[in-house]
């Protein structure tokens, strides 16, 4: 057998080379999560020798992924050099498709926002909305002035069920046109970058884990309002999608047996009573569909004390109490976080209407966090959560989950030395 050896003596394509890429990813991820960090600390966490860590760190530094921050002082012996992520080592884009609004951010490897963009839209066809997201992507890249080869990918948050890069959404009048629409593939074709599509509740929970309540709560359940209501599950610091990507679909928990018919085929699902759609249904009248009611109109009704909205809040609060108690019984989270696109006036009233919550389970009596908390999010948090998806893919390039599978086979080649050294394929054709 002949072939050209790399400088470590490994034949390209061998298991040894894959192991080296895996070790590089492990070191990079540990620096990203824990930095500034010393080589000795990395060795203890990952289980490699200090010399092995030093060799890998040199490769990552040469690729521009990490950098030396300085020396650790106050310890015995020679001060140890600290390593941290190089923010300019790569960039990701996060897009958030919300109700009548698209939000986007371009962030560096530390998650700091380099450029942001928000646009309202009235279009209702998925192809038109995909073109809006493409235009938003171009604006973000132009604002940031980032070279194309430094962009690791695009994460996109959508309000629907995601399977293999396509999703459907049953809360709009044109539901048939949204059925299994291949948004990831279309957006890849337009932008030339890998696109990872994910359900908005899962993405919101990722954003909350990275930048919000996740700083003090290791396990939580995120209740996310859009036209419907979804959920995201974070356990032991990691988000959980389930076997088919549907973990946390709290909107289809039955809270009133024999109640209203839901598009899922069941009756009495939670989102038939607790959702933006349900709130809008209370005020839209016979001449409009609920998804045609602007959020600002609902907020104004709430401020004016409209009895229709106040009545919805009180009824919805009682059904939400049931859901909260069931979530606690199933997942035993540190807390339940409630957020999303519901106007703050409606959200505050809804939270108030859940009081008093149903009796707490005995083992939760010592919890230091309230059972229900509003999300600690800024306006760009869902998009920042979406921007974390390409990094998650880079850390797990062989992931087989159907929702994150490759969708397009005709992407242009964008050479990324940083991704190459992490063992992530850069050939797009």
Return all residues near 298 (Cβ < 8 A) that are at least 6 apart: 276, 279, 280, 283, 309, 343, 346
Q: What is the CB neighbour count within 10 angstroms for residue 146?
A: 19
Contact 80, 61 (CB under 8 A): no
User: Per-residue pLDDT for 4 more than 80?
Assistant: no
pLDDT band at 301 (very low <50, low <70, confident <90, very high): very high
**In DSSP terms, which residues pair with 182 in a beta bridge?**
none
- What's residue 406's pLDDT? 47
As a whole number, the mean pLDDT across the chain is 82
Is residue 212's pLDDT more than 60? yes
pLDDT of residue 373: 86
Q: Do the strands 220-225 and 166-168 form a parallel or antiparallel pair, or are they unpaired?
A: unpaired
The answer on pLDDT for 381 being more than 80 is no
When pLDDT is averaged across residues 362-378 and rounded to a whole number, the result is 75
SS3 per residue for the chain: CCCCCCCCCCCCCCHHHHHHHHHHHHHHHHHHHHCCEEHHHHHHHHCCCHHHHHHHHHHHHHCCCEEEEEECCCCCCCCCEEEEECHHHCEEEEEEEECCEEEEEEEECCCCEEEEEEEECCCCCHHHHHHHHHHHHHHHHHHHCCCHHHEEEEEEEECCEEECCEEECCCCCCHHHHCCECHHHHHHHHHCCCEEEEEHHHHHHHHHHHHCHHHCCCCEEEEEECCCEEEEEEECCEEECCCCCCCCCHHHCECCCCCCECCCCCECEHHHCCCHHHHHHCCCCCCCCHHHCCHHHHHHHHHCCCHHHHHHHHHHHHHHHHHHHHHHHHHCCCEEEEEECCCHHHHHHHHHHCCCCCCCCHHHCCCCCCCEEECCCCCCHHHHHHHCHHHHHHHCCCCCCHHHCCCCCCCCCCCCHHHHHCCCCCCCC
Does the pTM surpass 0.85? The reply is no
Confidence grade of residue 405 (pLDDT, cut at 50, 70, 90): very low
Residue with tokens 């999560």: 33
Q: Does residue 344 carry a pLDDT above 90?
A: no
The angle formed by the CA atoms of residues 83, 209 and 398, to the nearest 5 degrees, is 70
The least confident of 66-70, 153-157, 313-317 is 66-70
- Residue 54 pLDDT > 50, yes or no? yes
Q: Which range among 175-184, 259-268, 316-325, 416-425 has the greatest average pLDDT?
A: 316-325
Q: What's the rounded Cα separation, in Å, for the pair 78 and 73? A: 9
- By mean pLDDT, which of 145-149, 290-294, 416-420 is the weakest? 416-420
**Burial code of 106-122, b = ≥16 C-beta within 10 A, e = fewer?**
bbbbebebbbbbeeeee
Q: Judging by beta carbons within 10 Å of its beta carbon (0-12, 13-18, 19+), is residue 66 exposed, middle or buried?
A: buried
Band of the pLDDT at 154, cuts 50, 70, 90?
Answer: very high
Q: How many residues does the chain have?
A: 429
* pLDDT of res. 257: 94
Beta-carbon contacts of 165 under 8 Å, excluding residues fewer than 6 positions away, are: 182, 183, 184, 185, 195, 197, 403, 405, 406, 407
Q: CA-to-CA distance for 63 and 108, rounded, in angstroms? A: 15
Q: Which domains does the chain have, with CATH numbers?
A: 15-85 (1.10.10.10), 89-202+382-421 (3.30.420.40), 215-376 (3.30.420.40)
C-beta separation of 195 from 165 below 8 A: yes
Residue 1 has pLDDT above 60, yes or no: no
Residue 428 confidence (pLDDT) above 50: no
**Residue 336 has what pLDDT?**
93
Closest CA to 23 of 3, 8, 4: 8
Alpha-carbon dihedral 221, 225, 230, 231, rounded to 10 degrees:
-10
Distance CA 209, CA 96 (A): 17
What is the band of 417 on the pLDDT scale with cuts at 50, 70, 90? confident
Q: How confident is the model at residue 95 (pLDDT cuts 50, 70, 90)?
A: very high
For residue 303, pLDDT beyond 50: yes
pLDDT at 319 over 60: yes
**Which of 180-194, 277-291, 351-365 is predicted least confidently?**
351-365
């Amino acid at each position: 057998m002949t072939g050209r050896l790399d400088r470590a003596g490994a034949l390209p394509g061998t298991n040894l080379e894959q192991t080296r890429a895996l070790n590089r990813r492990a070191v990079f991820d540990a620096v990203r999560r824990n930095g500034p960090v010393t080589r000795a600390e990395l060795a203890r966490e990952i289980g490699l020798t200090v010399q092995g860590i030093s060799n890998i760190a040199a490769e990552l530094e040469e690729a521009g992924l990490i950098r030396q921050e300085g020396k650790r002082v106050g310890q015995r012996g020679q001060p140890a050099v600290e390593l941290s992520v190089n923010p300019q080592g790569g960039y990701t884009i996060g897009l958030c498709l919300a109700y009548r609004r698209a939000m986007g951010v371009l962030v560096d490897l530390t998650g700091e926002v380099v450029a942001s963009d928000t646009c309202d839209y009235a279009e209702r066809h998925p192809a038109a909305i995909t073109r809006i997201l493409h235009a938003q992507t171009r604006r973000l890249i132009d604002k940031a002035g980032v070279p194309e080869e430094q962009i690791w990918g695009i994460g996109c948050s959508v309000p629907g069920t995601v399977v293999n890069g396509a999703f459907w959404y049953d809360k709009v009048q044109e539901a048939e046109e949204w059925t299994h629409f291949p948004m990831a593939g279309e957006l890849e074709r337009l932008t030339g970058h890998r696109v990872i599509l994910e359900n908005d509740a899962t993405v919101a929970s990722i954003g909350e884990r990275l930048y919000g309540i996740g700083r003090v709560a290791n396990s939580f359940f995120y209740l996310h309002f859009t036209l419907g209501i979804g959920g995201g599950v974070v356990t032991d610091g990691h988000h959980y999608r389930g076997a088919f990507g549907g973990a946390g679909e709290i909107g289809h928990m039955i809270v009133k047996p024999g109640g209203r018919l839901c598009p899922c085929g069941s009756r009495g699902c939670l989102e038939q009573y607790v959702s933006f759609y349900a709130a809008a249904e209370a005020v839209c009248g016979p001449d409009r569909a609920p998804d045609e009611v602007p959020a600002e109109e609902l907020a104004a009704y709430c401020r004016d004390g409209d009895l229709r909205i106040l009545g919805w809040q009180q009824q919805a609060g009682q059904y939400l109490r049931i859901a909260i108690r069931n979530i606690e019984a199933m997942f035993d989270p540190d807390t339940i976080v409630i957020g999303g696109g519901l106007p703050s006036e409606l959200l505050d009233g809804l939270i108030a209407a859940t009081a008093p919550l149903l009796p707490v389970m005995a083992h939760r009596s010592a919890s230091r966090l309230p059972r229900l908390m509003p999300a600690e999010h800024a306006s760009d948090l869902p998009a920042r959560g979406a921007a974390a998806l390409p990094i998650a893919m880079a850390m797990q390039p062989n992931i087989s989950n159907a929702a994150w599978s490759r969708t397009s086979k005709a992407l242009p080649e964008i050479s990324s030395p940083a991704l190459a050294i992490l063992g992530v394929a850069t050939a797009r054709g």
